[in-house]
Structure 1
Amino acid sequence: MSVQQTRNLLRTKDTQGHVGPVELLFDLVYVFTIIQLSHYVVAHLDVLGVAEAAVLFFAVWWGWNYTAWAMNWLNPFARGTQLLLAVLMLAALTMAIAIPEAFTERAWLFVTGYLVLQLVRSSFMVWAFRGQVMGRNYAHLLAWSAIAGVLWLVGLGFEGEARLALWALAVLIEYASPRFGFWLPGLGSTPMSSWPTTESHLAERNRLVFIIALGESILVLGGALLSEEFTFGVVAAAVVGFTTMFLLWWLYFDFRHGNAEHEYESDDVTAAARDAYAYAHALMVGGAILVAVGIEEVVHHPVGETSAWIAFTIVSGPIVYLLGNLIFQRALWRRTATSRLTGIAALLAVGVTSLWLPPLAVAVLVVAVMVALAAFDASSDRGVTTAAQNT
């Protein structure tokens, strides 16, 4: 890397699409964050707790997502960029530390970390792109984040469901803003065509964070086994849990339906990338986190009755992942895989019958559905490969 390349704050042709080491370092914070989120769900298995965990996750995801997009344009080898990522890592770590008590004693800490993450990054981008169209774009984005930030701050003055409602509205504003082109009164919007995107960089960044989310299943599984006796039920639950994690990896990297390396067919690359990586991957990564929660519950409770909440933890992860995968496919290829719809229907059926089965049996049925999807994908991939070779 030349001295000049370390001085260029924005990417050049030499650094375009490259995932830099500082980006991987930033992701390490999210290893801890995902652990915190999964533990929050386990500790708050009721309607209010799951709703709170969802708001926390979507905030955490949006912080990571906007950082990944910013790094689509920032040179990862520039010292200024690296210093920015250091500040953002500290803010993300602050959020992670606050997660267990984000709706109680440490609410202020979570909000502080989130606002620093969102506002500092966008302000930096406005400065980095000063005098350019992207500078205007990021000024609009900064304004929307500031509007949402007001609701985050107001929420600190309330407790319980009122705080949850205000923070949920703040998250909704953040997620809706790209769909409205960051429109502002008197200033108009920023068309997606004015956000030049290197799609391969975003694809790689999302692949990496999805693997991090899957890693939580390994950590949860190992931790659960350390605290349990190796009975037949516990060992069987561990094998089923590991298989579930591996199958989710298999489905994610499927050639036809997953985030694999190949050409995309959308005309508007930036709009497609927005839907595929900002929105669809929120559900796909969230599904992976819920799978980790389900694995932990089954290892600790392999036999006995399956409560409604244990059934929820076992079945919801794959369902949420498949919903995200459907959005991903619609964004990039304008198609809907009937195999994913069938899989969701089958998993819902498993959820309905789960109250009459022990948790381990429910997990086995979920694995059976995922094996069927993986087998169907494998046969479809062979057909596509054969057809491509014949042409």
Structure 2
Amino acid sequence: MTDVDDETGGPAHGKRVGWVELYFDLVFVFAVGQVAHGMVTDPHWARAAAALGLFATLWWTWIGFAVLYNRRGDDSRAADRLFVLAGTIPCGIAATQAHHVFEGHPAIFAAAMAGVRLILAAAHRWPARPGLDQSRISWGYTVSAVLFGVSAVLPYTWAVWAFALLQEAGFLLLGERRGRRRGESRQRPSRAERWRLLLKPPSDPNLAVDSAHLAERFGLFMILLLGELVITVGTAALERPADDVAYWASLVAGLVMAGALWWLYFSSAARIYERMLDLSGGNPALAYSLYAVGHLFPAFALLLVAAGVNLSLHESPPQAAAWFTTTGLTTYLAGTRVFAVPGRPRWYAGLARIAALAATVCLAFLARVLPAPAVVVVIAVWAVGSTLGAAGIRHRALDRMGDDPVAFLRGIQEQRHRAAGERTTGS
């Protein structure tokens, strides 16, 4: 990370991503590739749903190490590096077993996931750091390790995994609970109150996350997933003749699409998320909302797009090829909220956003009248158009946000309350 952040125009701050973290990501290059390959070998929606569940399991495993290093990791300490390096072994084993999970044989994968969580449990307990008590996190990972171990011999594997991941989410980034006095009624907080709590620094500074490091870690993971799309397009060249014009058109279209998706995320969404997390003082609940959960579906959408483009380049593309591509693109656009209009949007702005997302997914119907490579070209053109349209919207959001997202969000809330009051008065 440099001394000056060119994107935001202000001084860069926060810890650097460690070299050992980049090495750790190499394992997940292979792992996510296996998930995408699983959808290519059996292009049906049931397989895509299973791939999402498998990806979510790997996703939370990666997040465990990202948050660990964010809060207490240091490349200068050998113990921190050794825990991450040790984690590459069971993660690598799990990556090799991904296809067996699709085939209904998850035992070795589950055992590997249990081993990963034992390493995370030990890493959060030893070596002890002054003022940093993460024993609850350590015990939580121990429980997850037991659950994954038991799931290797149980018939309802996915249910056990879902429960393990949900309880991990509760202790890893939602560790600070708001107390309730005796006799106090339990009321659902308003949206403004929830934003206030999310933008409030944690009472325990040890629970805070480093916004610059976390933003960079997730940005690198998104690059990793975009790389799967680039690899998909490039490897298709090994199986097609050099004079195949349709292939070369889809090759260019695939790379253009990858560039557009990169632009959509890194030119707007990534900057907004980091700025909000930085203002909150590293609030772990906000990090959970923006990154851990907020990035899950857009991240998986990139794999869905990669699988769809891969299938489109086959000699006889299945019907699911176009649908995987357009559904993935739609999920990515919705998940990164690139069409969200800041401030007080008109009624037609929301309608236009819904229409744009619906039109994106419906591009798959073009496969009935156009060859698969031509559909990829059309979808790439649409992605570029979406990028151009979203660029102005998101830059206006950044300009209005300035250095005080609280005032920006408060202004939106006040405008909405006034609009609601006007509608009530008018009726």
Asked if the contact 2:27/2:91 (under 8 Å) is kept, the reply is yes
Equivalent of residue 216 in structure 2, options 204, 214, 238: 204
Asked if the contact 1:315/1:350 (under 8 Å) is kept, the reply is yes
Asked if the contact 2:253/2:380 (under 8 Å) is kept, the reply is yes
Does 1:276 pair with 2:290?
yes
SS at the partner of 2:358?
A: helix
Note closer, same or farther for the CA distance 1:203–1:258 as it changes in structure 2 (3 Å cut): closer
- Partner in structure 1 of residue 120 of structure 2: 121
Counterpart mapping for 1:168-187 below 5 A: 168-175=162-169, 181=175
Q: RMSD of aligned C-alpha atoms? A: 3.5
CA–CA distance in 1 between the matches of 2:366 and 2:76? 53
Aligned amino acid, residue 59 of structure 1: T
Note closer, same or farther for the CA distance 1:335–1:67 as it changes in structure 2 (3 Å cut): farther
Asked if the contact 2:309/2:321 (under 8 Å) is kept, the reply is no
Counterpart mapping for 1:16-95 below 5 A: 16-73=14-71, 74-95=73-94
* TM score, norm. by length of structure 1: 0.78
- Partner in structure 2 of residue 320 of structure 1: 331
Note closer, same or farther for the CA distance 1:129–1:374 as it changes in structure 2 (3 Å cut): same
Cα deviation code 1:24-82 (max 9, x no counterpart): 11111111112111111112322432222111111111111111111112112211111
Asked if the contact 2:136/2:171 (under 8 Å) is kept, the reply is no
Counterpart mapping for 1:182-197 below 5 A: 193-194=203-204, 195-197=207-209
Note closer, same or farther for the CA distance 1:143–1:182 as it changes in structure 2 (3 Å cut): farther
- Range with greater deviation from structure 2 (246-255 or 352-361): 352-361
* TM score, norm. by length of structure 2: 0.72
Once the two structures are TM-superposed, the CA of residue 261 in structure 1 deviates from its matched residue by 9.1
- Range with greater deviation from structure 2 (206-215 or 40-49): 40-49
Note closer, same or farther for the CA distance 1:298–1:178 as it changes in structure 2 (3 Å cut): same
Once the two structures are TM-superposed, the CA of residue 341 in structure 1 deviates from its matched residue by 4.9
- Partner in structure 2 of residue 5 of structure 1: none
Once the two structures are TM-superposed, the CA of residue 193 in structure 1 deviates from its matched residue by 4.6
Structure 1 residue ranges without an equivalent (≥5): 1-14, 184-190
Note closer, same or farther for the CA distance 1:381–1:107 as it changes in structure 2 (3 Å cut): closer
- Partner in structure 1 of residue 254 of structure 2: 241
Asked if the contact 1:38/1:292 (under 8 Å) is kept, the reply is yes
CA–CA distance in 2 between the matches of 1:375 and 1:170? 41
- Partner in structure 2 of residue 167 of structure 1: 161
Equivalent of residue 374 in structure 1, options 373, 387, 405: 387
Q: Give aligned pairs, total.
A: 357
- Partner in structure 1 of residue 109 of structure 2: 110
Aligned amino acid, residue 344 of structure 1: L
SS at the partner of 1:347?
A: helix
Question: Identity over aligned residues, as a percent?
Answer: 26
Asked if the contact 2:311/2:318 (under 8 Å) is kept, the reply is no
Aligned amino acid, residue 62 of structure 1: W
CA–CA distance in 2 between the matches of 1:219 and 1:298? 14
Note closer, same or farther for the CA distance 1:179–1:253 as it changes in structure 2 (3 Å cut): closer
Counterpart mapping for 1:258-269 below 5 A: 258-259=270-271, 263-264=275-276, 267=280, 269=282
Equivalent of residue 289 in structure 1, options 303, 316, 332: 303
Cα deviation code 1:240-276 (max 9, x no counterpart): 1111111111111123x34479733764642222211
